[in-house]
Amino acid sequence: MSVDVEHEAAPPRDPKRPEPRPLPLVFERSGEGKVGYSLPPLDVPETLAIPPALCRKQIAGEAQISEVDVARHFTRLSRLNFSIDQGLYALGSCTMKHNPRTNEEMARLPGFAASHPLAPEEVSQGSLELAWRLERLLAELTGLPRVTLQPSAGAQGELAGILMVRKALEKEGQPRRLVLIPDSAHGTNPASAHFAGYTVKELKSNPRGTIDLGALEAAMTEDVAALMLTQPNTLGIFEDRILDIARIVHARGGYLYCDGANFNAYVGVAKPGLMGVDVMHMNLHKTFSTPHGGGGPGSGPVAVTEKLVPHLPRPTVERRPDGTFFLDFDRPESIGRLRTFLGNFGMFVRALSYIAAYGNRIGEVARGAVLNANYIRAGLTGVYHLKYDGPSMHEVVFSDKKQSDLGVSNVDIAKRLMDYGFHPPTMSFPLIVHGALMIEPTETEGKPVLDAFIHAMREIARECEETPEIVRTAPHTTPVRRVDEVGAARNLVLRWRP
Amino acid sequence: MKFLPTSDAERAAMLAAMGARSIDDLFAAVPAEVRRAPDLPPPMSEIEIRRFLGGLAKKNANARDTAFFLGAGVYNHYVSSIADQMLYRAEWLTSYTPYQPEVSQGTLQNIFEFQTHVCLLTGLEVANASLYEGASALVEALLMAERLSRGRTKAVLSAGIHPEYRETVRTYFSNLDLEVVEVPVGPDGATDARALAAAVDEKTFAVAVQSPNFYGVVEDWNAGSAAAKAKGALSVAVVAEAVSLALLSPPGEGGADIACGEAQALGVPMHNGGPLLGFLACRTEHQRQIPGRLVGQTRDAEGRRAFCLTLSTREQHIRREKATSNICTNQGLMALASNIHMSLLGKAGLREMALQSHAKAEYLKAAIAKIPGYRIPFSGPTFNEFVVEASEDAAPLLSRLAARGILAGVPLSRYGAAPSDRRRFLVAATEMNERAELDRLVAALSGRAA
């Protein structure tokens, strides 16, 4: 029986599962002579003016499939995903909030989606103005004077930020050797510092999970270029000694880098510029609601203090006195380019649309996010272990300490949560919490959903005590059962073969 | 506020349940000195947002309303309606990196299929889940080659590689004690093979060549590969116009060890230059040094085929500063668009699209070459883009044409300072250009010259 027949028939259907069995690959649906496209007849003479030695005969194995098959294939595949629009997506640090659909419509306007980055300036005023306006809004929100929109995502923003610091220090004398990073930081921080040519020195957190001022004071030598700090940190705890931290870093001539992945905890309420932050990346796909799209595209603008402005990536978007906009390539002290063109422009459109929708009420984003995280915290305190019990901002990090004694791990709890209709929290991060369950509800969840989530987590805790096997063997109702990730790495199959 | 689902009464109930008096209390850890409300206008309604952004969009020329010949790394190719409409499905749009395979099989299988398409097109064995775009993909490919070389310090780049790619390489390499040497293109517009071979030495970890190169000229992958192999370096093939892969000899057959670049041309709208779609493919023996996400096939607890992220120990969330790259978020949704597009076009359509693009560009090139005052400076074969040299500065000429609704090309003056560059511009054609549009450009250029 062909895969199609097998799949289409597939009785008896399991009512719990959206698709009765794994779907064939698009290549396995292929059939000789089927087509899924139409092009107009060629209206110029047919020609091949390239030597045959430089040409290929065919693309062996490529699909042959109709549009109908494609529609069905990708619709069915989509049903195997959990998404924000289906329910609470508790993936901490990722900020899985509602993605407004106006933004999608705006990004698809022909003037944006069908425009080209290298069109003459006179016919690109709309995109230049849009970038300029978004930059000004992000500058206002961060309290820092200038912003680059060029970085493609947060990690590239980090690299851009540290490269600017390096350039500034070189100008002052020498670039220094070390970057300090707390042990609670995102893995991208040390990786980015490394690719900027720095040696990473890890800073141990204090018993509260925050920066240990004594340890910082001791580590902050004149060989340290920057402290990379996440505010609030990855435990969801606000570094309340931020002004002291900035003072210590600045006293030794270092720069304070803020990882803005968690900006949604205080956007519109407080400004990093007032905290002494010198440079900060933001994730438009987190705080500013651009969709995560199954893993990108993102966008990672970086805001900088006056001292770093000369080093911004090239080109910058500028406004002339007559109100027209242009790209300024004449920036001799720039770190250079990090990618092609202006950046992920389509994300700029969405973020600007989002900020415009909130306007001066954008602080409600942070207020809602913090309220929701604390509500979950209150609902689960005592049920799950909370290693660091400082005040939570937009997320809360529990662990499986109580449950692991019963032979159930955070992975099991996460998988079981799927059966209750929720996307699991981020697991095993931050590294300073063993068996972490990092929960970020975001401001776009309402009380009934939060209550249901709390209920589910409490039920699972009860199951861990009464019927641990059901948790250990979870999930039971997902499109596939627990996936053998170890097997995937051991026996690598990374593509289909004709 | 329509994106906030909590009513005042619910908020009060939540605070009461938590034993908190107000939301402000929850911000107690934020020092008063750093609190400041932003100076922003009041919220806009959906109608006002449409008016505001619609107004900005109208100030841009777009490919639908103009005679359009811009390329240089971003191309105006056909994309079927179904590709974009599929991206609107919430299950694709509003999900994230598939860390939890049991509830992400859609995204995972999509990436596995995308990886397969990239392998089939490049003739290589392994491809990753996507990278940001072409320039950073080249950086990642070079850094991968550097790691594999264990201690070599020099990259040899053809000057036919997109200038923004080369500038990006310099940015990334500036603090890594790595050297970049550029080899010029010859009078035919292709990389000078002899100079390339001479530039490679025992310190060289990679030799990178782009085809079609920035000037549109089709290169022979074997030249770069031979130069690399002679000194034990890796050969990196760069592709900025991925539709060409359907017609031209694939990198894998030309001895390339790594292929990388930009796949925007395969199903992603131009988006004013982003989001685009970086890709990277390599040989099996090098797969453990590949940067970015990888999806592998495996089984679930009941023995069914399933997919998951794999070889994560290469990545930053585990390896931190020792990771193969700092990349986390990549271009998931664009990889989906491209998978749908490549599947629809398939074996026959990808080739037909490439052949049509080539035929239109050849028609245009021949016609422009006949206009007095214009010449085609490079003699090498081209795919769908070529350099034109005018008898006057190109940038003002192109601006005048743009005012008449013809986006005729990209001036090389944007990238180079050589006096001849000022009069040169790149013209691209695709299956989207109908003959009348091609003739309109020729007539407009003839008018200027007359």
Tell me the per-residue pLDDT of A399-438, one tens digit each, with 9 for 90 and over: 999 999 999 999 999 999 999 999 999 998 899 999 999 9
Quote the pLDDT of residue A16.
62
Domain membership flag for residue B51 = no
Domain membership flag for residue B1 = no
Q: How far apart are CA B67 and CA A487, in angstroms?
A: 53
Q: Which of A78, A237, A342 sits opposite B92 (nearest CB)?
A: A78
**How far is B195 from chain A, CA to nearest CA, in Å?**
21
**How far is A261 from chain B, CA to nearest CA, in Å?**
12
Chain A contacts of B274, Cβ < 8 Å?
A: 117, 152, 297, 339-347
Among B1, B121, B132, the strongest candidate for a mutation testing the A interface, having the largest count of A CBs within 10 A, is: B132
The β-bridge relationship of strands A302-304 and A146-148 is antiparallel
Q: How far apart are CA B297 and CA B288, in angstroms?
A: 16
Chain A contacts of B60, Cβ < 8 Å?
A: 111-112, 115, 119, 123-127
Q: Which domains does chain A have, with CATH numbers?
A: 24-79 (no CATH), 115-361 (3.40.640.10), 366-487 (3.90.1150.10)
What CATH number did the domain enclosing B350 receive?
Answer: 3.90.1150.10
Q: Both B276 and B395 in a single domain? A: no
Q: Which of B96, B342, B359 sits opposite A47 (nearest CB)?
A: B359
DSSP designation for A330: -
Q: Is A116 on the interface with B (CB under 8 A)?
A: yes
> HSE of B134 in the Cβ direction (CA atoms, 13 Å)?
30
Virtual CA dihedral for B237, B241, B244, B250, nearest 10 degrees?
20
Residue indicated by tokens 């068996």 = A435
Q: Are B94 and A340 a contacting pair at CB < 8 A?
A: no
Quote the pLDDT of residue A159.
97
Tell me the per-residue pLDDT of A187-211, one tens digit each, with 9 for 90 and over: 999 999 999 999 999 999 999 999 9
Among B51, B329, B382, B406, the strongest candidate for a mutation testing the A interface, having the largest count of A CBs within 10 A, is: B329
Quote the pLDDT of residue B449.
42
Q: How far apart are CA A360 and CA A369, in angstroms?
A: 17
Q: Which residues contact B239 (CB under 8 A, 6 or more apart)?
A: B122, B210, B211, B245, B251, B259, B260, B261, B262
- Per DSSP, the residues of B28-91 read TTS-GGGB-----PPPPPHHHHHHHHHHHHHTB--TTSSEE---TT-------HHHHHHHTSHH
Q: How far is CA A214 from CA A173, A180, A205, in A?
A: 27, 14, 11
Q: Is B248 on the interface with A (CB under 8 A)?
A: yes
Q: Both B320 and B443 in a single domain? A: no
What percent helix, strand, coil does chain A show, rounded to 5? 40, 15, 50
Band of the pLDDT at A17, cuts 50, 70, 90?
A: low
**How far is B418 from chain A, CA to nearest CA, in Å?**
17
Q: Are B80 and A67 a contacting pair at CB < 8 A?
A: yes
**How far is B161 from chain A, CA to nearest CA, in Å?**
13
The residue type of B278 is G
Q: Which of A42, A363, A368 sits opposite B6 (nearest CB)?
A: A368
Q: Which residues contact A397 (CB under 8 A, 6 or more apart)?
A: A92, A234, A235, A236, A386, A387, A388, A430, A433, A436, A437, A438, A439
**How far is B211 from chain A, CA to nearest CA, in Å?**
10
Q: Both B361 and B222 in a single domain? A: no
The model carries a pTM of 0.97
Boundary of a domain, candidates B340, B373, B388: B340
Q: What are the residue ranges in chain B where pLDDT is below 70?
A: 448-450
Domain membership flag for residue B222 = yes
Domain membership flag for residue B110 = yes
Domain membership flag for residue B50 = no
Q: Are B39 and A89 a contacting pair at CB < 8 A?
A: no
Q: How far apart are CA A20 and CA A131, in angstroms?
A: 47
Q: Which of A64, A97, A488 sits opposite B310 (nearest CB)?
A: A488
The β-bridge relationship of strands A255-260 and A279-282 is parallel
Q: Is A57 on the interface with B (CB under 8 A)?
A: no
Q: Is B295 on the interface with A (CB under 8 A)?
A: yes
Boundary of a domain, candidates B322, B340, B358: B340
Q: Across the strands, what pairs with B389? A: B375, B424
Q: Both B195 and B328 in a single domain? A: yes
Q: Are A71 and B102 a contacting pair at CB < 8 A?
A: no
Q: Is B356 on the interface with A (CB under 8 A)?
A: yes
Q: Is A108 on the interface with B (CB under 8 A)?
A: yes
Q: Which of residues 216-255 of A touch B (CB under 8 A)?
A: 237-238, 240, 242-243
Chain A contacts of B62, Cβ < 8 Å?
A: 110-111, 113-115
Domain membership flag for residue B266 = yes
Nearest CA in chain B to A130: B56
Quote the pLDDT of residue B450.
35
Q: Are A341 and B125 a contacting pair at CB < 8 A?
A: no
Q: How far apart are CA B388 and CA B401, in angstroms?
A: 15
Q: Is B322 on the interface with A (CB under 8 A)?
A: yes
| Backbone φ and ψ of B11, nearest 5° | -60, -45
Band of the pLDDT at A1, cuts 50, 70, 90?
A: very low
How many domains is chain B built from? 2
Boundary of a domain, candidates B283, B307, B340: B340
What CATH number did the domain enclosing B228 receive?
Answer: 3.40.640.10
Helices (H) and strands (E) in chain B, counts: 14, 14
Q: How far apart are CA B254 and CA B235, in angstroms?
A: 9
Q: Which two tokens stand for residue B70?
A: 């811009």
Q: Both B420 and B291 in a single domain? A: no
**How far is A343 from chain B, CA to nearest CA, in Å?**
6
Q: Is B31 on the interface with A (CB under 8 A)?
A: yes
Q: How far apart are CA B397 and CA B146, in angstroms?
A: 43
Q: Which of A266, A338, A483 sits opposite B101 (nearest CB)?
A: A483
Q: Are A39 and B249 a contacting pair at CB < 8 A?
A: no
Q: Are B402 and A123 a contacting pair at CB < 8 A?
A: yes
Q: Which of residues 391-420 of A touch B (CB under 8 A)?
A: 391, 393, 414-415, 418
Q: Both B270 and B291 in a single domain? A: yes
Q: Is A94 on the interface with B (CB under 8 A)?
A: yes
Q: Both B183 and B274 in a single domain? A: yes
Q: Both B350 and B412 in a single domain? A: yes
Chain B contacts of A350, Cβ < 8 Å?
A: none
Q: Which two tokens stand for residue B285?
A: 């023996």
Domain membership flag for residue B210 = yes
Q: Both B273 and B413 in a single domain? A: no
Q: Is the pLDDT of residue A489 over 70?
A: yes
Quote the pLDDT of residue B417.
72
Band of the pLDDT at A14, cuts 50, 70, 90?
A: low
Q: Are A37 and B346 a contacting pair at CB < 8 A?
A: yes
DSSP H stretches of helix in A46-153: 67-78, 101-107, 110-113, 125-142
Beta strand residue intervals within A105-249, DSSP E: 146-148, 178-182, 199-203, 224-230
Find out whether B27 and A269 touch, Cβ atoms under 8 Å.
yes
Tell me the per-residue pLDDT of A66-94, one tens digit each, with 9 for 90 and over: 999 999 999 999 999 999 999 999 999 99
Q: Is B147 on the interface with A (CB under 8 A)?
A: no
Q: Is B255 on the interface with A (CB under 8 A)?
A: no
Q: Are A49 and B358 a contacting pair at CB < 8 A?
A: yes
Over residues A478-495, mean pLDDT: 96
Q: Are B17 and A375 a contacting pair at CB < 8 A?
A: yes
Domain membership flag for residue B45 = no
Q: How far is CA A9 from CA A1, A5, A67, A68, A403, in A?
A: 10, 6, 21, 18, 42
Q: Across the strands, what pairs with B238? A: B210, B260
Chain B contacts of A413, Cβ < 8 Å?
A: none
Q: How far apart are CA A376 and CA B103, in angstroms?
A: 23
Q: Is A327 on the interface with B (CB under 8 A)?
A: no
Chain A contacts of B382, Cβ < 8 Å?
A: 49
Q: How far is CA B163 from CA A275, B182, B410, B413, in A?
A: 39, 11, 13, 12
Q: Are A429 and B76 a contacting pair at CB < 8 A?
A: no
Nearest CA in chain B to A390: B29
Q: Residue B436's domain spans which residues?
A: 67-79+346-449
Among B53, B147, B238, B284, the strongest candidate for a mutation testing the A interface, having the largest count of A CBs within 10 A, is: B53
**How far is A477 from chain B, CA to nearest CA, in Å?**
9
Find out whether A265 and A232 touch, Cβ atoms under 8 Å.
yes
Tell me the per-residue pLDDT of B258-277, one tens digit each, with 9 for 90 and over: 999 999 999 999 999 999 99
Q: Both B390 and B305 in a single domain? A: no
Band of the pLDDT at A7, cuts 50, 70, 90?
A: low
Q: Considering only CA atoms, which of A110, A147, A151, A152 is closest in space to residue A127?
A: A110
Q: How far apart are CA B326 and CA B323, in angstroms?
A: 7
Q: Considering only CA atoms, which of B365, B375, B415 is closest in space to residue B395?
A: B415
Find out whether A256 and A245 touch, Cβ atoms under 8 Å.
yes
Residue indicated by tokens 């390329």 = B71
Q: Which of A34, A345, A372 sits opposite B271 (nearest CB)?
A: A345
Q: Both B329 and B350 in a single domain? A: no
Among A47, A62, A328, the strongest candidate for a mutation testing the B interface, having the largest count of B CBs within 10 A, is: A62
Q: How far apart are CA B315 and CA B326, in angstroms?
A: 8
Q: How far is CA B51 from CA A128, B47, B57, B255, in A?
A: 18, 6, 10, 53
Q: Which of B3, B41, B305 sits opposite A360 (nearest CB)?
A: B41
**Percentage of chain A with pLDDT > 90?**
95
Q: Both B267 and B388 in a single domain? A: no
| Rg of chain A taking only CA atoms, in angstroms | 26
